[in-house]
Chain A
Amino acid sequence: MDWDVIYTSELSRIYNYFIYKVFDREIAQDLTATTFERAWKTRSNYRVIIASPSTWLLGIARNVYREHVRKNRFTVPLLQDEHLVSNVNIEQSFQERQDKEFLRRLLLTLSEREQDLIALKYGAGLTNREIAKIKSLSESSVGNILHRAVKNLRKKWEERYGR
């Protein structure tokens, strides 16, 4: 097993899962580092026949996220501009930053379950089947929940942008 290859192929997936969960680049980096550290420490227990590297790492990532929420469960994230993913790169156009900020606010209106499915789908780039396996749901349930959530988000998006 080439762990360097796994790191290269999975880093973006894990990092973006956290970006869609916490909307904060610094926190996403911390949680990503914690996930890989934990994975590397326990990798002798990993068996490819039980789960793909993606599924295994996302399982660890979800535990890391739960612990993060548990530690911060009585605090509501402050919407400070300097911490927003959208504002980190100063070269991004104003419109792009506005779009990202609006999308972030839309995602915050979702239930935790919907947010998690969106993070796994659009952040981690998993298929509905892979998400179903991780969430212990049927593939059709995942499809239905995502369809409903995306439809609602799209409606609000189009109300604002008309596109």
Chain B
Amino acid sequence: MDDRFLYQLHEEPDSEFASNLRQMLRQFTQNSEQRSNTPFQRVFTARLAWITVAVAISILLLTTIAPVRAFIASTIANIAGQTFEMTDDYPGDNYPGNEIVIEPQILSLTDALGAFPHKVKLPTCLPSGYALNEEGVRVYIGEDAGFLADTIEITWLSENNGIELLVTNRDISGVEIVAPDSVTEISLDANHPAVVIQGGWDANQKIWSTAYGALRLRWLIGDLTYELRGTDLEQLIEIASSTLN
């Protein structure tokens, strides 16, 4: 396949930029080598002074600046191939005034699946009493969908509850910020690990909240990420497992 057109953005770095960066890295190298050649006593004294200053600054930051405290208190964990940063500190709101509102296309299920550029494995098993909300299939495709592109959301409703399935081809390799102990790994079958996320950030209270019993169950099939949202974990696992048949 002729793919030469894809090389058109390729360019050599600006020579001044390349030269300045090289110079800076050489300087860095020289400084490192000088440091390593310094007599032990001098290094020790200098390092001790730096360590003392660093410890003092750390204590100061730890006790006074919330984001720094949050960073230090957080841990990164890889669960079922997905990366989570776990912290008790509220990660913050969107920047006011800069929110991008992306409107989905509302289609019937048939039209939505036809428009979606990937083959979606729909669950074959749904709890009794739930029916597809035909008015509520939301599809994000095309240029207007921006960073939500290639996502479809399907909802099933019962008299009192709802179950939502989100399927996306978006890269989910980024870090998701959650509260400690809110994420657990389960297996749908031998080849399909999944994560269960319990609760979500409450923007009003600025805390992680499980008050509404919201659960998310997320797993991968091929290049697509599937996420079920509901309140009954056993129900969600049963539905998710039926997409693997």
Contact = CB atoms under 8 A, between A and B. Distances in A.
Are the chains A and B members of one assembly?
A: yes
Interface of A: 3-4, 7, 11-12, 15-16, 19-20, 23, 25, 29, 32-33, 36-37, 40-41, 66, 69-70, 74-76, 85-86, 96, 99-100, 103-105, 108-109, 111-113, 116, 118, 122-123, 145, 147, 150-151, 153-154, 157
Contacts of A23: 9
A11 B8 CA distance: 18
Interface string B91-111: 000110011100000000000
Given A29-B17, A147-B1, A122 B98 contact: no
Interface in B4-30: 5-14, 17-18, 21-22, 24-26, 28-29
B175 interface: yes
Contact of A75 (B6, B95, B143): B95
B171 A12 contact: no
B170 A85 contact: no
Q: Which 6 A-B pairs have the closest CB atoms?
A: A112-B171, A113-B171, A15-B13, A74-B94, A111-B169, A122-B6
Interface stretch (B55-63, B146-154, B234-242): B146-154
Given A109-B142, A111-B169, A123-B9, A3 B29 contact: yes
B39 interface: no
Interface in B65-120: 94-95, 98-100
Contacts of B173: 66
B9 A103 contact: yes
B98 A154 contact: no
Interface of B: 1-3, 5-14, 17-18, 21-22, 24-26, 28-29, 94-95, 98-100, 142-143, 146-147, 149-150, 169-171, 173-175, 223
B7 A122 contact: yes
Contact of A19 (B11, B25, B142): B11
A150 B6 contact: yes
B171 A103 contact: no
B14 to A, nearest CB: 7
A99 B4 CA distance: 12
Contacts of A151: 1
Contact of B9 (A40, A41, A70, A100): A100
Contacts of A85: 9, 11
A24 B11 CA distance: 12
Contacts of A112: 147, 170-171
A69 B22 CA distance: 26
Given A25-B14, A123-B10, A150-B3, 14 more contacts: A7-B22, A15-B13, A20-B9, A33-B21, A36-B25, A37-B28, A41-B28, A66-B174, A69-B174, A74-B100, A75-B95, A111-B171, A122-B3, A122-B7
Contact of A12 (B1, B2, B13): B13
Contact of B174 (A41, A70, A96, A105): A70
Contacts of A118: 6
Contacts of B25: 3, 7, 36-37, 40
B6 A74 contact: no
Contacts of B2: 154
12 contacts: A15-B13, A32-B13, A36-B21, A75-B100, A103-B8, A103-B9, A105-B143, A150-B1, A150-B3, A150-B6, A153-B5, A153-B6
A4 B24 CA distance: 12
B80 to A, nearest CB: 13
